[in-house]
Each structure stands twice: as C-alpha cells, then as structure tokens.
Amino acid sequence: MISDDEIEHVARAIYGTEHDSRGWDQEPGLSKDRFLTEARIAIATLDRLRRIKSVTPESRRLVG
C-alpha cells in the first residue's frame, strides 16, 4: 500500500511538469485533487505492470 505522502510526492512531480505552475502550496484544492488522482492512476498502473512482470512463464501457462 502506498501512503498519502508518497502519492503527494508523485503528484508534485507531475504538477512540476506543467509550464505555468505557480507552486504546489498556492494551488487550489481542486487543482491538487487532479494531480493526486493522476498520481494514484500512475502508481496503480506501475503496480499492475510489476505484478504482470513478476509472473513466471510457468505460472502463465497454468493461467492461460
């Protein structure tokens, strides 16, 4: 499980890629929520990819 602090860290990194960013602490809550949602999606996607990659060829044959 990922902590809220880790999610916020990823959200700040995503936020930092915006060209007109004015600073995380100055952003309104709705704007922060957007980046937090994007961070959760990115983290969940990476978790799924890691699970898929951790499946061995033998277990893939058993499933598929």
For 41-50, write each residue's pLDDT tens digit. Answer: 999 999 999 9
The residue ranking higher by pLDDT, 41 or 56, is 41
Number of neighbours of residue 15 by Cβ within 10 angstroms: 21
Is 60 exceeded by the pLDDT of residue 4?
Answer: yes
For 8-53, write each residue's pLDDT tens digit. Answer: 999 999 998 886 667 888 888 998 999 999 999 999 999 999 988 8
3-state helix, strand, coil in the chain (%, to 5): 75, 0, 25
Where do the domains of the chain lie?
4-52
Q: DSSP code of 44?
A: H
pTM exceeding the 0.75 threshold for the entire prediction: no
